[in-house]
Chains A and B, each alone.
Chain A
């Protein structure tokens, strides 16, 4: 089949969005209940230790927490349908505004980390697939071991100790300049690289075993062309899957990294929201996160179609 007509792509996206609705609904119900099962009472937290029982009751009324659960849920859903995620209890600002204020920081960190990881992990994975017993192969093994086994807060603290405290090269926390981005991005990238190196290595190895590689070699193609054009392109599918899932996880906010480096992103916001039992804010962040994951999965599937023409056929034609 030829290049997909524009209409079929639009239809495919529309279908996927419709399919996402029941998923979101189930998620919202569970989340709504779970948040309320959490021990701790937001009204009491806001009122403070000195407050009387009447004060607490009044705050409950203002927040709507005195109503039965199902009424609260209906209130919440009718707000959601109007695009209103509610008002943060702690910040006394619309939840969506609060999330959108923090999201660019999270996005910045996530993309920086993922770019560093891709730039280093893919070449490393390819080389280690081609030459497993060389120094580069060994390096790849070490990197993937460190990435997948080192606790991220420990790595973060070590980097702060070396580069901020001892060498005084980079700021240890906060945000604002490119220099601020380096340590948290490198910390996160190390974590991501662990998986990415392993997946790249494995999928390149698998592709190199394929029969079409024999054909490519039998044509007299140079080994670089065989590897990069023939093997890597086929190996990209699992690599893209992992990258997409990683990015999805990061966009929800890298809680540990953001905490270690005092990075004002969604992860920190979620932590604050949970600590202060800020129900609307917790709910808002989780829904936001769910939507991001749904979008990323859609993007991954469309990316597959662009890499693998066979997937294209099944995507465009089904439905």
Chain B
């Protein structure tokens, strides 16, 4: 049994202008200890997907359909209290911008200690030794002093270490990383990545690693999932996808990395699709170099090609997944 199985998940935002289908029928599974990279442009629905797994989609967003099965239980059917027990303990999350995701008026020691408060019933002040140990583990310098600090007294990299410490405190089974290095300086990014991988080796936790940086995902993930306009485009082994991308969108992304290395700037024509009024048929067809007449008429299903699942009419004859 996989650790996590997401089936036909749909998360919509009801806005005055209409319904935004941010995640529109996405399915995938995750084994224990596996790292799944999720790539896509901003607005592809990858961040909404991450938040919905932990039950934290901000209104007016709501999960309209699907199942999120974690260790055999459908998280969407759990009570708020049952879900609360899983959050921060079995499933944790590291967010994009540590500057806004830490509370500016509470000391670091309290904010980290709250994890123990929520799940072990230890008051944050009494958990201070545990917090210091934890901060040492994420290699925050001078942890005894840092527990007394406020977020604004720390650099961005230090803050992200604090966020990571909260996420690993109770040895979770799944850590969701939502662009954990995008808001940081380039030099700090490498340090944080190194720490994340080290923690992952130590804990053996599975990870969902969300990023728009396909090259980074190529280095760290076992499998890769590409999203476009709220839909899954392609999912499979990372190596295979890099070697032989099936979907024209995946191909364009991977070519982009190769060309950047050669310092020729490639561009994908056009703009990301409007999720309010997505193009008919395949959502990628207006930008697709391999576009066929049918692409604007028929929505592609998901087809199995080898070990991979791909959503493109080019592979229709391979049969439904």
Contacts and interface: CB of A to CB of B under 8 A. Distances in A.
Interface of A: 1-2, 209-212, 214-223, 225, 229-230, 233-234, 307-310, 313
Contacts of B34: none
Contacts of A211: 95, 97, 100-101
A51 B244 CA distance: 112
B104 A310 contact: yes
A307 B105 contact: yes
Given A211-B95, A230-B106, A218 B153 contact: no
A261 B182 CA distance: 63
B148 interface: yes
A205 to B, nearest CB: 12
A215 B118 contact: no
Q: Which of B56, B114, B119, B148 has the most CB of A within 10 A?
A: B114
B161 interface: no
Contacts of B153: 1, 309
Given A230-B103, A234-B103, A220 B89 contact: yes
Given A214-B58, A220-B118, A2 B148 contact: yes
A307 B119 CA distance: 27
A216 B56 contact: no
A3 to B, nearest CB: 9
Which 3 interchain pairs have the tightest Cβ spacing?
A220-B88, A219-B88, A309-B150
Interface string B115-154: 1011100000000000000000000000000001010110
19 contacts: A212-B102, A214-B58, A215-B101, A215-B102, A215-B163, A216-B103, A217-B87, A218-B54, A218-B87, A218-B93, A219-B118, A220-B87, A221-B84, A221-B88, A221-B117, A221-B118, A233-B106, A308-B104, A308-B105
A180 B84 CA distance: 50
Nearest to A1: B153
Contacts of B119: 220
B85 interface: yes
B92 interface: yes
A310 B152 contact: yes
Contacts of B93: 218
Interface of B: 51, 54, 56, 58, 80, 84-89, 92-93, 95, 97, 100-106, 111, 114-115, 117-119, 148, 150, 152-153, 163, 166
B125 to A, nearest CB: 13
A248 to B, nearest CB: 25
Contacts of A234: 103-105
Nearest to A223: B80
A308 B153 CA distance: 12
A2 B150 CA distance: 9
Q: Which of A1, A216, A218, A309 has the most CB of B within 10 A?
A: A218
A217 B56 contact: yes
Contacts of A229: 106
B114 A221 contact: yes
Contact of B152 (A212, A225, A230, A313): A313
Contacts of B86: 220
B92 A218 contact: yes
A309 B152 contact: yes
A222 B100 contact: no
A233 B111 CA distance: 13
Contacts of B148: 2
Contacts of A233: 103, 105-106
B84 to A, nearest CB: 5
Contacts of B114: 216, 219, 221, 225
A310 B118 contact: no
Contacts of B88: 218-221
Q: Which of A212, A234, A308 has the most CB of B within 10 A?
A: A212
Contact of B84 (A212, A214, A215, A222): A222
Contacts of B80: 223
Contacts of B51: 214
B150 A214 contact: no
Nearest to A307: B105
B281 to A, nearest CB: 35
Q: Which of A223, A307, A309 has the most CB of B within 10 A?
A: A309
